[in-house]
């Protein structure tokens, strides 16, 4: 008799974005004439940059020739990509890393979800609330969350509230956790931490031997100078933080799949007896056992992003999305709605009008405006009374969605 992992039975039946997709499909079935504008899941709409496409074609041709064909690659990823990452994403910001500290993968979702494999189930986990649901759901699967309480919290997780009152800037927890997830620029609130705000967290982690799992998937969308792109810009962070990065939103790789995780050599975890263990070695062991590497052609495509022309094309796409963010932010604010984010991130966090619940507002937007958002409460109890819109749509659609919401609001 195969016993199941009972933890899965504690989770809501579907993952947040699958649940929304089901609701939208049901609406579409009954209203086939509705032109739905999707600003729900953060999926990009601009095609891959031409430089990336050219690199893909070249790599495909290499695979067609016995002289240049590649089979299994290094599980950690090819050095040509790790070196390009180090040069452009880190050395340019004064951070030194070696290729053995970079683990190329199929994206930040997998890595933030899988990282728990190398951590004891006895760790006390802290998350900001609201939060990207992968962190919570994977800790439920990994036996670290306890039980779901009627108010939507998990009994063993420490919640760090991010709300309008604290401007969505988390305060250091009163009770010391072992592991903290931080995502900045933030999904879902679209807000960012300045260097001095992030430094507080690094100092706290150094002092208390806390591991920070830092999700920097949206760093490319930062527009303000005082917002760090990497946690390693803060002194001492290599001793306390793992950083996750993604090409999904930066370069349109949501369908192609590529990201990377940085596990510095000087970062240590602990055995129960206090003995130090290199987390880099554990993650390497995990990846070499469970992962056979990202496709060669995809890694060549990612490398192309770092060429001067690739950079120009990627930046143009990001500017396109951030213009959408501005349209959403300004349009909804002009309609009298309370909006946050959208300056250093492609997400706009919106207070629901008239004290509506998140799902109620989601339903109004879908039924009355034919616009899809993401209910804030889907990101945790702290998101109740909010809704998230993404800036990843086509500009004419975004403009139309905002006009429809404005009209509905009047
Ligand atoms: C989101 O909408 O929060 C993201 O697209 C989800 C993801 O990146 O997995």
Cβ(190) to ligand 1 under 6 A?
A: no
The residue extents of the domains of the chain are 14-43+310-409, 53-306
* Ligand 1 atom with the shortest distance to the CA of 109: 9
What is the mean pLDDT of the segment spanning 81-93?
97
Dist. CA 224–CA 193, nearest whole Å: 10
Which atom number of ligand 1 is nearest to the Cα of residue 43?
A: 5
3 pLDDT above the threshold of 80: yes
Nearest to 159 by CA among 175, 147, 143: 175
Query: Is the pTM for the entire model greater than 0.85?
Result: yes
Tokens of 360: 């109620």
Q: Which atom of ligand 1 is nearest to the CA of 248?
A: 8
pLDDT tens, 217-267? Answer: 999 999 999 999 999 999 999 999 999 999 999 999 999 999 999 999 999
Ligand 1 midpoint to CA 162 (Å): 19
Q: How confident is the model at residue 34 (pLDDT cuts 50, 70, 90)?
A: very high
Phi, psi of 99 (to 5 degrees): -55, -30
In angstroms, rounded to a whole number, what is the distance separating the alpha carbons of residues 400 and 371? 10
Please tell me the predicted confidence (pLDDT) of residue 21: 92
CATH class of 53-306: alpha beta
Measured in angstroms, how far is the CA atom of residue 65 from the centroid of ligand 1? 37
Residue 264, classed as helix, strand or coil, is coil
pLDDT-based confidence at 16, cuts 50/70/90? confident
Helix axes 50-63, 296-304, angle to 10 degrees: 150
12: confidence class by pLDDT, cuts 50, 70, 90:
confident
**Quick check: 61 pLDDT over 90?**
yes
Q: What is the 3-state secondary structure (H, E, C) of 69-87?
A: CCCCCCCCCCHHHHHHHHH
Q: What is the CATH number of domain 14-43+310-409?
A: 3.90.1150.10
**Residue 409: pLDDT over 90:** no
Q: Report the pLDDT value the prediction gives residue 9, as an integer from 0 to 100.
A: 95
According to the model, what pLDDT value does residue 63 have?
A: 98
Measured in Å, residue 169 CA sits from the centre of ligand 1 at 21
Answer positive or negative: Cα dihedral of 138, 143, 149, 154. negative
- DSSP, res 270: E
Measured CA to CA in angstroms, residue 345 lies from 227, 233, 250, 362 at distances of 11, 19, 11, 21
The preferred substitution site among 41, 134, 383 for testing ligand 1, maximizing ligand atoms within 8 Å of CB, is: 41
Ligand 1 center–CA 254 separation, angstroms: 9
Taking the C-alpha atoms of residue 109 and residue 102, their distance in angstroms, rounded to an integer, is: 16
Six-digit token string for 33: 């004439």
Atom from ligand 1 closest to the CA of residue 187: 3
Distance between Cα 360 and ligand 1 center (Å): 22
Q: Check residue 253 and give its pLDDT.
A: 97
Per residue in 366-382, pLDDT (tens digit) is 999 999 999 999 999 99
Query: What is the residue with the minimal CA distance to atom 5 of ligand 1?
Result: 42
- Find out whether 325 and 391 touch, Cβ atoms under 8 Å: yes
Tell whether ligand 1 has an atom less than 6 A from the beta carbon of residue 42: yes
Supply the residue whose CA is at minimum distance from atom 3 of ligand 1.
Answer: 42
pLDDT given for residue 13 in this prediction: 82
The residue among 296, 289, 281 whose CA lies nearest residue 73 is 296
Scored b (16 or more CB within 10 A) or e, 169-184 reads bbeebeeebbbbbbbb
Q: Whose CA is nearest to atom 4 of ligand 1?
A: 42
Q: What is the pLDDT of residue 69?
A: 98
CA of 11 from ligand 1 middle (Å) equals: 18
Mean pLDDT of all residues belonging to the chain: 96
Query: Whose alpha carbon is nearest atom 1 of ligand 1?
Result: 42
For residue 40, the ligand 1 atom closest to its alpha carbon is: 2
- For the residues 72-92, what does the mean pLDDT come to? 97
Pairing of strands 371-372, 37-38: parallel
Residue 350 is predicted with a pLDDT of 96
For a ligand 1 pocket test, name from 15, 17, 386 the mutation site with the most ligand atoms within 8 angstroms of its C-beta. Answer: 17
Any atom of ligand 1 within 6 Å of the Cβ of 109: yes
Average pLDDT over residues 268-272: 97
CA 116 to centroid of ligand 1, rounded, Å: 19
Q: What is the pLDDT of residue 14?
A: 82
Token pair listed for 142: 């990994």
For ligand 1, is residue 41 a contact (CB within 6 Å)? yes
- For residue 75, the CA-to-ligand 1 centroid distance in Å is 25
Burial of 4 (0-12, 13-18, 19+ CB in 10 A): exposed
Is 94's pLDDT higher than 90? yes
Cα 375 to chain centroid distance, Å, stands at 17
Tens digit of each residue's pLDDT (9 = 90 or more) over 276-315:
999 999 999 999 999 999 999 999 999 999 999 999 999 9
Token duo for residue 125: 């986990």
Task: State yes or no: pLDDT of 410 exceeds 80.
Answer: no
Asked if 378 contacts 20 with a C-beta cutoff of 8 angstroms, the reply is yes
Q: What is the pLDDT of residues 388-401, one digit of tens each?
A: 999 999 999 999 99
- Alpha-carbon distance of 252 to 227, in angstroms, equals 23
The proportion of the chain whose per-residue pLDDT surpasses 70, expressed as a percent, equals 100
For a ligand 1 pocket test, name from 15, 16, 43 the mutation site with the most ligand atoms within 8 angstroms of its C-beta. Answer: 43
Give the pLDDT of residue 125. Answer: 98
Buried b vs exposed e over 354-393: b needs ≥16 C-beta within 10 Å? eeeebbebbebbbeebbbbbbbbbbbbbbbbbbbbbbbbb
For residues 60-87, average pLDDT:
97
Q: What element of type H or E holds 22? A: helix 16-30
Question: Which residue puts its alpha carbon closest to atom 9 of ligand 1?
Answer: 109
Q: Which helix (H) or strand (E) holds 390?
A: strand 386-390
Q: What tokens were used for 130?
A: 């609201």
**Residues contacting residue 347 through CB under 8 Å, at least 6 positions apart:** 42, 186, 187, 188, 189, 190, 218, 325, 341, 388, 389, 390, 391
Using the mean position of ligand 1's atoms as its centre, give its distance from the Cα of residue 17 in Å: 8
How many angstroms separate the CA atoms of 239 and 152, rounded? 33
**132 Cα nearest atom in ligand 1:** 3
């Amino acid at each position: 008799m195969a016993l199941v992992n009972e933890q899965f039975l504690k989770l809501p039946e579907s993952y947040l974005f699958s649940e929304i997709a089901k609701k939208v499909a049901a609406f579409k079935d009954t209203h086939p004439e509705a032109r739905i504008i999707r600003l729900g899941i953060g999926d990009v709409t601009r095609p891959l940059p031409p430089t990336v496409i050219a690199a893909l074609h070249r790599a495909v041709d290499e695979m067609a020739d016995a002289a240049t064909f590649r089979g299994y690659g290094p599980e950690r990823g090819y050095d040509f990509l790790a070196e390009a990452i180090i040069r452009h994403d880190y050395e340019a910001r004064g951070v030194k890393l070696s290729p053995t500290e970079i683990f190329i993968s199929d994206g930040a979702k997998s890595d933030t979800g899988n990282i728990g494999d190398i951590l004891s189930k006895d760790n006390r986990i802290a998350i900001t609330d609201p939060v990207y649901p992968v962190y919570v759901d994977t800790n439920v699967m990994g036996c670290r969350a306890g039980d779901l309480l009627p108010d939507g919290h998990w009994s063993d997780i420490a919640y760090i509230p991010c709300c309008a009152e604290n401007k969505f800037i988390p305060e250091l927890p009163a009770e010391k956790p072992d592991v903290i997830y931080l995502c900045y620029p933030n999904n879902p609130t679209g807000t960012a931490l300045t260097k001095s705000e992030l430094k507080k967290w690094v100092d706290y982690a150094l002092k208390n031997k806390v591991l920070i799992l830092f999700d920097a998937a949206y760093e490319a969308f930062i527009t303000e100078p005082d917002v760090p792109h990497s946690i390693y810009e803060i002194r001492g962070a290599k001793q306390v933080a793992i950083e996750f990065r993604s090409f999904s939103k930066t370069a349109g790789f949501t369908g192609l799949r590529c990201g990377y995780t940085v596990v510095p050599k000087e970062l240590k975890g602990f055995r129960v007896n206090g003995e130090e263990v290199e987390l880099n070695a554990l993650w390497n062991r995990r990846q070499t056992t469970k992962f056979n590497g990202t496709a060669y052609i995809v890694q060549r495509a990612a490398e192309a992003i770092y060429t001067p022309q690739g950079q120009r094309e990627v930046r143009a796409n990001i500017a396109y999305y951030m213009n959408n963010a501005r349209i959403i932010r300004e349009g909804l604010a002009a309609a009298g709605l309370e909006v946050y984010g959208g300056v250093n991130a492609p997400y706009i966090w919106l207070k629901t009008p008239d004290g509506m619940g998140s799902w109620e507002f989601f339903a109004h937007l879908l039924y009355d405006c034919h616009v899809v958002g993401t209910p804030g409460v889907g990101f945790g109890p702290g998101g109740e009374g909010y809704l998230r819109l993404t800036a990843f749509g086509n500009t004419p659609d975004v403009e139309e969605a905002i006009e429809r919401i404005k009209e509905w609001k009047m």
